[in-house]
Amino acid sequence: MRKLQVVLLACVGLACVAARPVDREDGGLFADAEAEHAWPPHTSRAEEDRVSALPGAPAAPVVSIFSGYITVDEGAGRELFYVFVESSSKPRTDPLVLWLNGGPGCSSLGGGFLSELGPYYPTPDGETLQPNKFAWNTKASMLYLESPAFVGFSTSNTSSDARVGDDRTAADSREFLLRWFDRFPRYRRHAFWLSGESYAGHYVPQLADVILRGNKADSSRDRHEHPINLQGFLVGNAWTHAPTDNRGAVDFWWSHGIISSETRDGIVGKCDFARVGPLWSHQTDSRGALDFWWSHGIVSTETVEGVQHNCDFAAIDPLLQEVDEEGAEKALYVSAVEQPLRSTPHPPLGSKAEKCDRFVEQAMEEMGSINIYDIYADVCLPGPARVARQLALMLRDHPAGAATRKLITGKQDPCIDSEAEAYLNRRDVQLALHANVSGQLPGPWQDCTPRIEYSREDLLSSVLPLYRRLLEEEDIDMLVYSGDVDAIVPVIGTRNWIRGLQLPVTSAWRPWHGRTGQVGGWTVGHGKLTFATVRGAGHMVPYTQQVRALDMFTRWIHRQPL
Catalytic residues: 198, 486, 539
Q: Is the peptide bond before 95 cis (omega within 30 degrees of 0)?
A: no
Whole-number Å distance between alpha carbons of 369 and 55: 36
Residue 7's identity, in one-letter code, is: V
CB 426 within 8 A of CB 55: yes
Helix, strand or coil for residue 48? helix
User: What DSSP letter does each residue of 507-542 carry, written as one string?
Assistant: EEEEEEE-TTSSEEEEEEEETTEEEEEETT--SSHH
Residue 293's identity, in one-letter code, is: W
Whole-number Å distance between alpha carbons of 185 and 179: 10
The three-state (H, E, C) secondary structure of 235-293, written as one string: EECCCCCHHHHHHHHHHHHHHCCCCCHHHHHHHHHHCECCCECCCCCCCCCHHHHHHHH
Residue 521's identity, in one-letter code, is: G
Whole-number Å distance between alpha carbons of 279 and 287: 13
CA dihedral 117, 119, 123, 125 (to 10 degrees): -140
Residues linked to residue 530 through DSSP beta bridges, in sequence order: 479, 525
CB 408 within 8 A of CB 388: yes
State CA 227 to chain mean position distance: 25
Helix, strand or coil for residue 465? helix
Whole-number Å distance between alpha carbons of 485 and 375: 6
Residue 194: enclosing H or E segment and its boundaries?
Answer: strand 192-197
CB 146 within 8 A of CB 152: yes
Helix, strand or coil for residue 432? helix
Between the two ends of the chain, the Cα-to-Cα distance in Å is 39
CB 134 within 8 A of CB 546: yes
CA distances for 187 relative to 89, 94, 140, 255, angstroms: 15, 10, 12, 46
Helix, strand or coil for residue 172? helix
The dihedrals phi and psi of 308, each to the nearest 5 degrees, come to: -60, -40
Residue 97: enclosing H or E segment and its boundaries?
Answer: strand 96-100
Whole-number Å distance between alpha carbons of 331 and 434: 38
The dihedrals phi and psi of 122, each to the nearest 5 degrees, come to: -75, 165
Helix ranges (H only) for 52-199 are 166-183
CA angle 178, 421, 114 (to 5 degrees): 55
Helix, strand or coil for residue 70? strand
